[in-house]
Structure 1
Amino acid sequence: MAAAGQRSAIVAGALEAGAGKKGLEAALKAAGGNPIVHAPGTTQDSRVPAERLVSVARGTEPVEVDVAGGIVRLQPVTVGQKTSVVEVFVPDSELGEGTARDWWILLGIALGLVLGSVIVVDRLARGAVGSVRNLVHAAMAVGGGDLGVRIQPSGPRELAEAGYAFNRMADRLVTSRTSERELVADLSHRLRTPLTVLRLDAEALDPDDTQIMDLTAQEVDRRRGIRRIRQAIVTLEGEVDQLINTTRAAVAAQVADAPEEGLCDAAEVVRDRMVFWSALAGDQNRQYRVVGAQLRIPVPVARTELAAALDAILGNVFRYTPQGTAFEVGISRRDGWVALRVDDAGPGIDDPEKALQRGQSEQGSTGLGLDIARRAAQAAGGSVSLARAAMGGASVVMLLADAEAPPKQASRFGLVGRMARERDPARRKWPHQRTDEE
């Protein structure tokens, strides 16, 4: 159709220029395609009806008319007061030339778009399905008791948000379970206080020996009752110890799975645990003193582990020294080491090496107290030592690595000796002593 417009324009230009017969024939020859010029008022040899040709001659714009076998382009040309019409026929063969190739190209593009869409949708769906599958597996693992499972949020925004929410939920579950176990351990420690008092009171009773034949029946029954009380106390203490050890082992396993939580302030742990033990110290009229727990002293030990170790050492002081025996808890740091010391004024330990062995005790207990402290110290790169305290009794020293400074020396004796020299017996005061007036 563009070529037909060009041929019409060539002939129309010759007409408008006033070309004669020879000039018009030359223009028709140059245009090619056998255009026809209808002089004003003539309609012969036209492919369109005469009335349509007349109506076009009255206008000024080209007109395209569908006819049998193609399309006719009619262009009016006005010269003076007369209008001629230039007719150019375009057959269907020219109109459809090359369209088959174009249709195949369009079809190929359409197929390519459909195939690309399928691939993109498949990849997106595969990512979404993978994210959902990971979320389902993690949820089933948590339901099975594995609270350490976490997922990497991926996929669409909604699934990624669900993944982050799942991780937060799992963290809350771990925190809640750890808090519950720590609460059980704390409650168990609180049970130790009345148990210790009850055991001391039971030991103050008469002997429970019933083999003497000259006892009255009432005396025999009374002594048997004393024996049952003592046996019940021993059994209850064993159950409490088992509960504490089991609970702390579970908490320690969680701490091992989360190394970022294995750091605590040793001074804060000392202050916190002494709040608990001070109540029992007041009941037993024990003088005590806390030294060096004012400043922050970080150590690479989980808080629960260090608290359990300190409780084990202090529990031995209350259990194996007479009521009214004074004790001291001190903490200091030097050359990359932190020393946590517990001294008492009791009878001391005859065989320190045996006391540090797991399950060994000179007092008939489980022998796990000092072993708990030893394992906690070794986990922090340190150790536990036993010596004679300046107060006259036992001195238990836990040596821990300083979390803020690498150790400069492997020996602990300089630090322990320095702590002993810093204690001034002449200036020692016991502000927590219970007097008779109180």
Structure 2
Amino acid sequence: MTLRTWQLRLSLGIALLTTLAFALPLGYAARQQAADRAQQRSERRAAALVTVLAATRDPGAVRAAWRSTGEDAASTCVRVPGDADVGRCRAPGSALGQASREGRTVRARAVDGQDVLLLPVRLPDGRTAFVESLVREAEKTDGVAAAWTVLAGAVAALTLIAAMGADLITRRLVRSAGELVRAASAVGQGELGVRVPVGGPQEVRKVAAAFNTMTDRIAGLMQSEREFAADLSHRLRTPLTALKLDLDTVEGPAADRLRAAVTALDQQVTHLIGLTRKGSADASPVPGQGTELTTAVGTRMAFWATLARAQGRPCDVTVDSVPVTVDVGEEEVVAALDALLGNVFRHTPMGTRCEVYAGLLDGVPSLVVEDGGPGIPLQEAASVRGHSGGASSGLGLDIAARVAAEAGGRLLVGTSRHGGAQLLLRLGGEQAGPRHRTATGKVPGGASPAGDASF
């Protein structure tokens, strides 16, 4: 339920209850007034005959006066002791006795269920005559239906006016909240220049001002981060240039390895400078422009093969023969591979075995790096926080986890079949194709249908 719908229902309920609280007593009062008017009319009809009885006791005169009342004659009657009743009398005998004893007007219930007024009249000879007047049922409800109709219309009109007023206020509030939601979504997509107009109720204005302050702060921090990264990258250029010049004077196999390493480092620095110039929004991957995982890993492993041979490390590389595409750039795939293998080379003794696999793992594009070192003691914490423990800073795992998240996957940390660390990058969702490996991420004894390379 939206805020506008909730507010509209609440306003309708409150307005309806408020108007009914006034309308119901008014309707009851209108009904009571109609009943009082009916009784007053009945009393007026009886009063005319009481005047006649006070003037004469002649039955003929009384009957003539009764007939002269016209339509009212059907609702009245006169009872004179010793004479025949004039008109149709309805009051029971008990009511006659009560009226005679009390000497006042009595309201009684007739045999047919209708209300009658019984007026006692004292005659000069001491006897008591009675004048009856029927309280008509139609007169009891005269005007009540019209009053209820007016009250119902008033209730509907007031409820509608209250709902329209509440909806107008709610739309203003929802409009301000909607602008805040759209701005937050834009900031989440990297548009840090978006700001929210400060308007609406006081609470909404405070939220909008706080949001704008937060966005300014985020933009400032990101700008500072880009400037720092750019400055650091440029500072690295100077020693790299000097190192390249010095390597030109060195000959032999070691010089070739050093030149390859320096060239790779220079490429990474250039890439970092480009990212800081474009900003994080421009550096995000473009949907539909992915990287062929097996090709990228196979090409990069040519560089790591040289280092592995230099340290005496057996390094088995397995890549699927079927192309596997992931939704991140080639630089990101290479950065993740470098981060994971860099941890292996830095935190395991020389000569420790390592294995690399790239391809489909249970139908999911995956990159697996295993080693025979001491392993990672806090595996679950490392996969969540990107910190491997010990003397490691955890930055390598942070880089790998970020790349996996950008590809729509995650980083899993486990134990390899050699007792060391197993780092599994799931780089996206399931894809159609042969499933060459099981979910354990183990290399099945070199029995992969892809080509294996050992260094």
TM-score with structure 1 length normalisation? Answer: 0.38
Larger RCO (CA within 8 A; separation ≥ 6): 2
